[in-house]
Amino acid sequence: MVVDAVSNEKGVEKEVIFGAIEAALASATKKRSREDIDVRVSIDRETGEYDTFRRWAVFADESDELEEPAHELRLEDAIDLDALAEPGGFVEEPMESVSFGRIEAQAAKQVIVQKVREAEREQVAEEYEGREGEL
C-alpha cells in the first residue's frame, strides 16, 4: 500500500498519512461541490475504500436564523438525521463520493505533501526540543 511506503520513507506514522489523504479528499470534494459545505472523509485502513459525509454543527439556539446555514443545524433538525445529536456536536449524512479529475488529484497531492512535511518538521522539532542550549 502507498501509505506503508510513504510512512517508511518519510518516517511518519501511518495515521498522519491517512489523515492527510482524508483531508485532501475532503478538500477536493468541497471544491467539486456546487455548495459551500463541510465535508468529512473516512478511509477504511484495511481496504483503502473511503466514504464521504456532509457535516453540520449542532446548535440548541432557538433563534430564527443561523449564522451559517450551510454548516449549522438546530437541534430539532439535527435529531431528524441522528437521534443522538447534541448541541456542540456534529451530525453527518453520507454523500456520494465524487470522481476526481487531474486538477483535483493535483490539489489533493499538494495537501498530502504539505501535511507530511508538517509532520516531519514536528518530529524534528520534538527530537531537538530537549537539547536546546547544548553545543
Class for the domain spanning 37-95: alpha beta
Domain boundary assignment for the chain: 1-33+98-125, 37-95
CB 55 within 8 A of CB 40: yes
Neighbours of 58 (CB within 10 A): 21
Whether pLDDT at 64 is above 70: no
Q: What is the pLDDT of residue 55?
A: 93
Whether pLDDT at 53 is above 90: yes
State phi, psi for 20 to the nearest 5 degrees. Answer: -65, -40
pTM exceeding 0.85: no
Whether pLDDT at 41 is above 90: yes
Whether pLDDT at 54 is above 90: yes
- Of 39, 48, 40, 38, whose CA–CA distance to 17 is shortest? 48
Whether pLDDT at 104 is above 80: no
Give the burial class of 39: count Cβ atoms within 10 A of its Cβ; 0-12 exposed, 13-18 middle, 19 or more buried: buried
